[in-house]
């Protein structure tokens, strides 16, 4: 059922909403957050081939992981449960965390139509997959999602033992990020409830300052500010940069802060500064391959460096 907005937001989210001057809009949008999965959402989930899962590892570091499979590998067997018939690759930093109960945030995206949906709750292992008891279920608008067509599916993951780890970004990884038009971000609230969200823009919208520091502008969105509110409360953050063409993923964990110091590209000057503490690259992780992007008409222009 739809939740009462009085209990929807935690103090960090409220603080950002207040500073941004969007309390009334946030309350209105918050009425769409449910704790169950309606039939239309269940039908959407059952057709998806990918889901991003955000959670904390045993050290409290946040990561965002990509799980893929055929249509039906994500489904809702009842109104308060989402089942995922997939678990993280053994080299994935969340493999151990999701082998037991964990607070998770998830987001499913349909690149072909620019649709997306978020489900947050508590996961437990179930055979080769996960069962998520839902706590927050809601859809997001199509803003900043690049349209892509699927070119191949069902490919075997090709990671083998080739995961690479580093305390910072290699030169190639820095170029990967500079060229990115999409990434996913995992955060958590004051009670440890996890969330996973999407960020998109034209290539170059993420700035790489050096091998440990990134910044991205905060574009106008739904005014809930769940990601920024979580960061305000708990700086631990995880990022996932997919390589749509090769199936590889670049996973980063570190800390973030909301910058209110006049980012020229962000809404009202907002941006997010991120400091990398570990980078994990998994080549060929995804079973999917995607074509070239059709950039969202909502993407703001990117300034020349």
CATH number at residue 228: 2.30.110.10
- Give residue-wise pLDDT tens across range 203-224: 999 999 999 999 999 998 889 9
Which run of H or E residues covers position 271? strand 271-282
**What's the pLDDT score for residue 28?**
93
Average pLDDT over residues 227-232: 97
pLDDT band at 194 (very low <50, low <70, confident <90, very high): very high
| DSSP classification of residue 172 | H
**Assigned domain for 265 exists:** yes
**Structure-derived torsion over alpha carbons of residues 203, 68, 130, 3, reported in degrees to the nearest 10:** 50
Residue 78 phi/psi, 5° resolution?
-150, 175
| Residues whose CB is less than 8 angstroms from the CB of residue 244 and which lie 6 or more positions away in sequence, other chains included | 148, 182, 289, 290, 291, 293
Q: Where in the sequence is the domain holding 175, given as residue range(s)?
A: 5-290
Query: Cα–Cα distance between 131 and 78 in angstroms, integer?
Result: 11
Cα separation of the two ends of the chain: 47
Predicted local distance difference test score (pLDDT) of residue 5? 52
Residue 295 maps to a domain: no
In a domain, 19, yes or no: yes
pLDDT digits (tens, 9 = 90+) for 269-284: 899 999 999 999 999 9
Q: How many domains does the chain have?
A: 1
The neighbouring-strand residues paired with 213 are: 210, 275
Task: Calculate the dihedral angle through the C-alpha atoms of 187, 116, 21, 5, rounding to the nearest 10 degrees.
Answer: -80
Residue 283: CB atoms within 10 A of its CB come to 17
**pLDDT at site 7:** 65
In a domain, 115, yes or no: yes
**Residue 70 in domain:** yes
3-state class of 154 per DSSP?
coil
Would residue 299 count as lying in a domain?
no
Rounded Cα distance, 207 and 290, in Å:
24
Residues 65-84: tens digit of each pLDDT: 999 999 999 999 999 999 99
Report the candidate in 272, 279, 274 with the shortest Cα–Cα distance to residue 251. Answer: 279
At residue 135, the pLDDT reads: 97
Residue 27 DSSP one-character state: H
Has residue 305 been placed in a domain?
Answer: no
How far apart (Å, rounded) are the C-alpha atoms in residues 205 and 178?
A: 7
Instruction: Judge whether 304 lies within some domain.
Output: no
């Amino acid at each position: 059922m739809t939740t009462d907005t009085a209990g929807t937001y935690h103090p960090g989210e409220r603080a950002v909403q207040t500073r941004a001057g969007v309390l009334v809009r946030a309350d209105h949008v918050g009425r769409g957050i449910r704790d169950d999965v309606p039939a239309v959402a269940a039908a959407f989930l059952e057709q998806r081939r990918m889901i991003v899962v955000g959670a904390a590892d045993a050290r409290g570091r946040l990561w965002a992981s990509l799980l893929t499979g055929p249509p039906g590998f994500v489904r809702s067997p009842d109104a308060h449960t989402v089942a995922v018939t997939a678990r993280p690759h053994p080299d994935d930093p969340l493999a151990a965390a999701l082998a037991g109960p964990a607070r998770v945030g998830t987001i499913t995206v349909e690149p072909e139509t620019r649709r997306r949906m978020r489900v947050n709750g508590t996961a437990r292992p179930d055979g080769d997959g996960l069962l998520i008891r839902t706590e927050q279920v809601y859809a997001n608008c199509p803003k900043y999602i690049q349209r892509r067509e699927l070119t191949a599916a069902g490919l075997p993951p090709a990671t083998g033992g080739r995961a690479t780890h580093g305390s910072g970004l290699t030169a190639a990884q820095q170029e990967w990020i500079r060229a990115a038009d999409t990434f996913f971000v995992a955060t958590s609230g004051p009670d440890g409830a996890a969330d996973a969200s999407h960020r998109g823009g034209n290539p170059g919208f993420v700035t790489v300052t050096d091998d440990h520091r990134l910044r991205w502008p905060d574009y106008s969105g739904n005014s809930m500010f769940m990601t920024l509110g979580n960061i305000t409360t708990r700086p631990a953050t995880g990022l996932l940069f997919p390589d749509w063409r090769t199936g590889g993923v670049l996973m980063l964990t570190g800390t973030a802060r909301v910058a209110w110091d006049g980012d020229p590209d962000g809404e009202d000057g907002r941006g997010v500064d991120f400091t990398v503490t570990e980078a994990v690259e998994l080549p060929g992780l995804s079973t999917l391959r995607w074509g070239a992007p059709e950039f969202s008409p909502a993407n703001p222009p990117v300034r020349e460096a």
